[in-house]
Amino acid sequence: MSPVSSNAPHGQSPLRTVQVLGGGNAGSSAHVRSLAEGLVARGVQVTVCAPAEADLAYDFSGTGADHVPVPRSSDPASVAALRAACADADLVHAHGLHASFRAVLALGGRSTPLVVTWHDRARAEGARAHLLRLLERRVVRTAAVVLGTSSDLVDRARRTGARDARLGAVALPGRRGPVDTDDPDRPGPKLHAELGATGRPLLVAVGSLDRYRGYDVLLDAARAWRSLDPPPLVVVAGEGPLRPALQRRVEDEELPVRLIGARDDVPDLLAAADLALLTSKWESRSVLAQEALHAGVPLVATAVGGVPDLVGDAAELVPYGDAKALADAVVRLLADPERRELLRERGGRQAATWPTEDETVAQVLSIYDELTQPRPLA
């Protein structure tokens, strides 16, 4: 670990924490990196237990934290590796249900405080859904504190039996303030040309191509946009199991939609967009919604999960699964530049109310301080 100046009280050793991450989606992985960086800067010793590929993508080691490669598995070898990493920890903080369950197994009844952050809601059906509910119950009843990134996740944790569940809003890493929408260097014509949207509105959706994203509804809505003059182009950035079925629909129905796969230039795509679309069945603290409001891009989103609290009055909200409502909202916005400008202004104001990375780290560290007793001399 890189040397840091400890902020621990005089006569105490630095707080030793372990951050546990499973496969991790982009939001939770970026949060763990941001958290590790902020904690290390405050003199906390941080070990990140995550798959090797996660460290390659997010460079936890580059924050000054130690990285211990632990596969996304609950097999005995992975649990043993995690148990060894947690042996000297003052506190363990796990992110997501699967990582939290492995942390429970690794701690095995030790008195080490466990903090759990729920970034999202585990999704499954049938027998697997029952299993996930059992895992949730085991985790929340073991954890000293459960942090939910949206109020409905906090409510879910309380209903499941959490002793202490709190709102832990996660900052959008790397964002220090709203984007300057008048910046002449913002992406625009070049990306429009690359995507085939020259001379027509560009609508951007981002997310994995799975059934929870509501892309079947998005394609239903896109039928209505074919008759517009000019017809907008819908660009969907992401990969997933539904790509073949979605691509067949696009081709068979001649929809104005392009599936462009996973992209590493999502901020540029959003900056070039006329509208951003979020059609999910459920979201907690949507990264796309945050990026869109920061970028000054009007957003049409489903009124699900944590989205209404997140965006306030700075987006057009529609019911999940209602293709007509989605189509109509987009048609109205494309025809109303004043409304789009109002949403841009509201988006900037709403984004200014979200916590910064420093504020997120400060909240987490205050919880750590609550849960840890004075430590002996190093």
Mapping DSSP onto H, E and C, the string for the chain reads: CCCCCCCCCCCCCCCEEEEEECCCCHHHHHHHHHHHHHHHHCCCEEEEEECHHHHHHHCHHHHCCEEEECCCCCCHHHHHHHHHHHCCCCEEEEECHHHHHHHHHHHCCCCCCEEEEECCCCCCCHHHHHHHHHHHHHHHHHCCEEEECCHHHHHHHHHHCCCCEEECCCCCCCCCCCCCCCCCCCCCHHHHHHHCCCCCCEEEEECCCCHHHCHHHHHHHHHHHCCCCCCCEEEEEECCCCHHHHHHHHHHCCCCEEEEECCCCHHHHHHHCCEEEECCCCCCCCHHHHHHHHHCCCEEEECCCCHHHHHCCCCEEECCCCHHHHHHHHHHHHCCHHHHHHHHHHHHHHHCCCCCHHHHHHHHHHHHHHHCCCCCCC
If asked whether residues 363 and 339 sit together in one domain, one would say no
Name which residue leads in pLDDT, 34 or 375: 34
If asked whether residues 24 and 164 sit together in one domain, one would say yes
Instruction: Write down the pTM of the prediction.
Output: 0.87
If asked whether residues 157 and 243 sit together in one domain, one would say no
If asked whether residues 323 and 361 sit together in one domain, one would say no
pLDDT at 272: 93
If asked whether residues 66 and 121 sit together in one domain, one would say yes
- Could you read off the pLDDT of 332-355 as tens digits, one per residue? 999 999 999 999 999 999 999 999
Enclosing domain of residue 135: 16-171+356-371
- Mean pLDDT value across residues 266-295: 94
| 2 has pLDDT over 50 | no
If asked whether residues 345 and 361 sit together in one domain, one would say no
If asked whether residues 94 and 128 sit together in one domain, one would say yes
- Could you read off the pLDDT of 188-229 as tens digits, one per residue? 778 888 898 899 999 999 999 999 999 999 999 999 999 999
Inside any domain, residue 178? no
CATH of the domain at 295: 3.40.50.2000
pLDDT at 7: 56
If asked whether residues 77 and 164 sit together in one domain, one would say yes
Inside any domain, residue 295? yes
What's the pLDDT band for 252 if we cut at 50, 70, 90?
Answer: very high
Structural domains counted in the chain: 2
| 282 has pLDDT over 70 | yes
| 321 has pLDDT over 60 | yes
If asked whether residues 346 and 361 sit together in one domain, one would say no
